[in-house]
RNA sequence: GCUGGGGUAGCUCAGUCGGUAGAGCAGGGGACUGAAAAUCCCCGUGUCGGGAGUUCAAUUCUCUCCCCCAGCA
């Protein structure tokens, strides 16, 4: 069985991935599939920088704004959904263009995940509770005895990874590093990664400008309406940068100025983490974000289209 | 003008019973295998407002000057 061709557009937030994707879609007859963990949520298209409805009419789009804010998404669910979206696009004769910023989701999709079953919420909750009462040191020490290999890789303060490792062990009776070891790293698609490169100094003013544009475009009203429908500050859909700050403002816990400056700082820090993540990926071909023609030439050459 | 509180890292501040100083945030670097726009790790020399005095030694005590804040005039 031959692998499907897919183009992945990567890079930090705010570099113009949407524009590049639309350019490539036009040239090759493509369909855009989202791999951004926050743009899947309904009700906040502006704040999460989803493609506008105008942009979405230019070619078919998948996986934008379809989840309810109370629903949680994770790499496994995403990978599953994206796989079928790719299938649909191919069936329609379109070149799938994966666009987004969640590196983990892209890896999960391209290389697959270990077949770890879902963790029952009872188990998750009890481990969370133990972390709260006993602390990271104690649970890390516990992990050290059951899975020294994985424990060595993570820090006692890393609550998320420690509790994940323990809950997987409790659920499956197997240790996380053994699950990971059985994975085969074969790609599941014939993929080409195109990176839009921009360093932080250049990106920062663009991010600030984008926040201003979002606010001018009605971001507060959008968030207010969405929050009224789902008035839970901790809903999974509200964990995106921008949402959290605007909710604080809406709930009168912050001035708009405070919300704005926090929003920018966190966006910038996020962009930096993305840069770090993508920087180490040798598969990525880096481009000037504006040079869509050069990206297209590489796509043409690589896939002989 | 008077009284009180301040002037310490880019910002907000802690501290030194006298032996030249440290947190949070910001910033820089990094990790990342089912919460990932998450979670986490590493990196801190700065005329301790200026000047003078006491002292072996002052950012720390004293005096003085400058600046900020609050209150009183």
Query: Tell me, what's the pLDDT at A183?
Result: 83
Roughly how many angstroms between the first and final C-alpha of chain A, as a whole number? Answer: 20
Query: Tell me, what's the pLDDT at A244?
Result: 94
CB of A222 under 7 A from strand B? no
CB of A73 under 7 A from strand B? yes
Q: Which nucleotide, over all strands, has the C1' atom closest to the CA of A108?
A: B33
pLDDT along chain A (305 residues), means of 10: 92 96 97 98 97 97 97 97 98 97 97 93 95 92 96 94 97 96 89 96 94 96 97 94 95 89 94 96 97 97 92
Separation CA A28–CA A90 (nearest Å): 13
CB of A265 under 7 A from strand B? yes
Encoded tokens for A300: 């043409």
Torsion of CA A45, A72, A3, A114, to 10 degrees: 150
Side-chain half-sphere exposure of A294, counting CA atoms within 13 A: 10
* Residue numbers 144-163 of A with CB closer than 7 A to any atom of strand B: 153, 155, 157-161, 163
The bridge status of strand A95-99 relative to strand A5-10 is: parallel
In angstroms, the CA of A124 and the C1' of B61 are apart by: 59
* 3-class secondary-structure state, position A67: strand
Q: Which nucleotide, over all strands, has the C1' atom closest to the CA of A181?
A: B33
Question: How many CB atoms lie under 10 A from the CB of residue A251?
Answer: 11
In angstroms, the CA of A236 and the C1' of B35 are apart by: 9
Query: Tell me, what's the pLDDT at A258?
Result: 86
Query: Tell me, what's the pLDDT at A257?
Result: 87
* 3-class secondary-structure state, position A99: strand
pTM of the model: 0.92
Q: Select from A24, A64, A63, A69 the least CA-distant residue to A194.
A: A24
Query: Tell me, what's the pLDDT at A11?
Result: 96
CB crowding A145-177: b at 16 or more within 10 Å, else e = eebeebbeebebeebebbbbbbbbbebeeebbe
Q: Select from A241, A235, A242, A234 the least CA-distant residue to A69.
A: A235
In angstroms, the CA of A279 and the C1' of B20 are apart by: 42
What is the length of chain A?
305
Separation CA A158–CA A160 (nearest Å): 6
Q: Are A50 and A65 in contact, with CB atoms under 8 Å apart?
A: yes
In angstroms, the CA of A237 and the C1' of B55 are apart by: 65
Encoded tokens for A182: 């059985």
Q: Are A181 and A114 in contact, with CB atoms under 8 Å apart?
A: no
Q: Describe the strand order of the beta sheet including A5-10 as a list of residue ranges.
A: A61-62, A30-34, A95-99, A5-10, A190-196, A284-287
CB of A49 under 7 A from strand B? yes
CB of A269 under 7 A from strand B? yes
Query: Tell me, what's the pLDDT at A1?
Result: 66
CB of A4 under 7 A from strand B? no
Q: Which nucleotide, over all strands, has the C1' atom closest to the CA of A41?
A: B37
Query: Tell me, what's the pLDDT at A273?
Result: 96
CB of A262 under 7 A from strand B? no
Q: Select from A303, A83, A47 the least CA-distant residue to A194.
A: A303
* 3-class secondary-structure state, position A31: strand
CB of A174 under 7 A from strand B? no
Q: Per CA to C1' distance, which residue is closest to B41?
A: A155
CA A123, A124, A126, A131 torsion-angle sign? positive
Torsion of CA A261, A225, A69, A235, to 10 degrees: 60
Q: Which nucleotide, over all strands, has the C1' atom closest to the CA of A150?
A: B33
CB of A271 under 7 A from strand B? no
Separation CA A299–CA A305 (nearest Å): 8
Q: Which nucleotide, over all strands, has the C1' atom closest to the CA of A112?
A: B33
């Amino acid at each position: 069985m031959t692998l499907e061709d897919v183009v992945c557009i990567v890079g930090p937030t705010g570099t113009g991935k949407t524009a590049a994707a639309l350019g490539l879609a036009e040239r090759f007859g493509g369909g855009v599939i989202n791999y951004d963990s926050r743009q899947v949520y309904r009700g906040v298209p502006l704040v999460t920088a989803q493609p506008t409805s105008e942009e979405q009419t230019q070619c078919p789009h998948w996986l934008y704004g379809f989840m309810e804010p109370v629903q949680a998404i994770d790499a496994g669910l995403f990978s599953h959904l994206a796989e079928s979206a790719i299938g649909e696009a191919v069936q329609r004769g379109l070149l799938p263009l994966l666009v987004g910023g969640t590196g983990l989701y892209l890896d999960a999709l391209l290389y697959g995940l270990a077949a770890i079953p879902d963790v029952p919420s009872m188990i998750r909750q009890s481990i969370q509770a133990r972390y709260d009462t006993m602390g990271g040191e104690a649970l890390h020490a516990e992990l050290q005895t059951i899975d020294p290999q994985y424990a060595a890789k993570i820090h006692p303060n890393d609550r998320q990874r420690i509790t994940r490792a323990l809950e997987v062990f409790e659920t499956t009776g197997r240790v996380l590093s053994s699950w990971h070891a059985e994975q085969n790293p074969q790609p599941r698609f014939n993929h080409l990664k195109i990176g839009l490169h921009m360093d932080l100094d250049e990106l920062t003013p663009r991010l600030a400008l984008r926040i201003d544009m979002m606010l001018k475009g009605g971001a507060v009203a959008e968030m207010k309406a969405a929050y009224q429908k789902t008035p839970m500050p901790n809903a999974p859909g509200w964990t995106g940068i921008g949402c959290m700050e605007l909710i604080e403002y809406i709930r009168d816990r912050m001035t708009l100025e405070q919300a704005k400056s926090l929003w920018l700082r966190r966006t910038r820090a996020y962009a930096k983490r993305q840069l770090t993540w993508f920087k180490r990926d040798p598969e990525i071909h880096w481009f000037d974000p504006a040079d869509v023609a050069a990206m297209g030439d590489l796509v043409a050459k690589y896939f002989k289209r």
